[in-house]
Amino acid sequence: MAALKQVTPMIWVKDLNVSLDFYTRVLGFSVGLLMDGVYAYMTWGPVAFRLLQDGAGEGEKPSDHTGQLSCYVDVAGLDDLYAELKPALDPLPPGRVRAPFNQDYGQREFHVIDPDGFLIFFGEAIKAG
């Protein structure tokens, strides 16, 4: 019987080198695979993203994907993660990072927007006190 294993977002990027720098230096991902300067498989523990440079690969990409895509990364120790990433997040342009805050739906989150407008939510459940 088949079983679903994981979801790996495919993120279209304008400049793979700029995105590789962002995902490795700012967010701490590792490059698992880099192909022909147009595709990268990025990992951090069980979380993975596939970066594909616009105009590369088969098929047609959305013509305007900026701001339309996002993903949610569930984490343990959200505030610790934010503190770890903060030195690399601070130099990003205004509006690209939202510091940790509590949501009404019981999650504590922080948000980061990558160089191409891809919104990444980092969040964890708020422990009932």
* pLDDT tens sequence across 73-87: 999 999 999 999 999
3-state secondary structure of 17: helix
Q: For a pLDDT cut of 70, what percent of the chain falls above it?
A: 87
| Count of residues making up the chain | 129
Which tokens sit at 59?
């098929």
Backbone angles phi and psi of 82, in degrees to 5: -60, -45
CATH class for the domain made up of 10-55+69-125: alpha beta
Q: Which residue is listed with tokens 């990072």?
A: 97
Residue 70 has pLDDT above 60, yes or no: yes
Residue 60 has pLDDT above 50, yes or no: no
Residue 24 has pLDDT above 70, yes or no: yes
